[in-house]
Amino acid sequence: MKKILLLSLLVSFGLFGFSQNNRITVPKSLENFAVQKVKAIDNSLIVQTEVKHSPAKSVRTINEEEIGQTIYDLQTAQCTPYGRFVYYDDGTMGATWTIGTDAYTDRGTGYNFYNGTAWGPEPTARIENIKTGWPSYIALGPTGEMTIAHVSGTGPLVVCKRTTKGTGA
């Protein structure tokens, strides 16, 4: 038993010795590679100690418009609301949110569309016929749109899509 143990130990040390190879092969093209020096930028002139905000002098104005309402106050429920707004190349826009007007029983996808001139009327009900939550909105090609929402943690996803954005059921 002692001889087998001693033999195993010697073989192990031999294998460990071969596995510890510190030689790194560098390609010939990188052996004489020089890093170019770049002049440091002096940021001391850019640093501001006080933030001054004057909306009256702003070149850009922000236009806000209410496109829908909800009393469902858990909009994110600890998740990032990514994918709820799409700006199309032709200037149209689509938006979704978790809508709820009667506590939580009618929770679903709120949807509104901007046709390039004006937003549609504010929706008063969800677009699905069953209770859903946390919708996402995506462009379906250049002219279509699709929303995806979940029914429950273990249930299926509800997919609503149409080939012409902003029109139809």
pLDDT tens digits for 1-52?
888 888 888 877 777 766 656 667 777 777 777 777 776 655 555 544 454 5
Q: Which distant-in-sequence residues (6+ apart) come within 8 Å of 97 by Cβ?
A: 68, 70, 75, 81, 84, 109, 110, 135
pTM: 0.59
pLDDT tens digits for 132-155?
888 889 998 888 999 998 887 777
In angstroms, the CA 11 to CA 22 distance is 21
